[in-house]
Structure 1
Amino acid sequence: MFSVVQSAIFNFQSLLIVILLLICTCTYLRGLFPSIIKRRAGFLGTFWKCARIGERKSPWVSAFCIVMAVSILFLK
């Protein structure tokens, strides 16, 4: 009768997609505008940490993005 919509917190694949998009977006923005993401503490420090993960682990992040894209396109 009613359709239940799950948020990204309760669906593991959606949670991984949100995390990967956050890492990629923070890394891209830091590359374009380094002064935007420069705080290391507090709530904005989370974005700095995501950008740092994207910079240092970029082969792994890109591999996970490819795996998630294949799983979304062909397995869903």
Structure 2
Amino acid sequence: MSAIFNFQSLLIVILLLTCSCAYIQSLAPSLLDRNKIGLLGIFWKCAGIGE
């Protein structure tokens, strides 16, 4: 069963994405700051939530 159909796994994937983006932004802020708009802006928003 994939993580999309299992609610607990989906929550874990979202939490890992948020924490990973926040960690990447703490190490290299320019990497996520240049992609605020568009599809890659999702990672910038996750980093903001993770902080």
TM-score (norm. length: structure 1): 0.64
1:19-67 CA-partner distances (Å, limit 9, x unpaired): 0000000000000001111121111100000000011xxxxxxxxxxxx
RMSD of equivalent CA atoms: 0.6
Match of 1:11 among 6, 9, 29: 6
Partner residue of 1:40? 36
In structure 1, runs of 5+ residues without a counterpart are: 1-5, 56-76
Residue identity (%): 66
Q: What stretches of structure 1 move > 2 A for 4+ residues in a row?
A: none
- Number of paired residues? 50
Rg larger in 1 or in 2?
1
Greater relative contact order (CA < 8 Å, ≥ 6 in sequence): 2
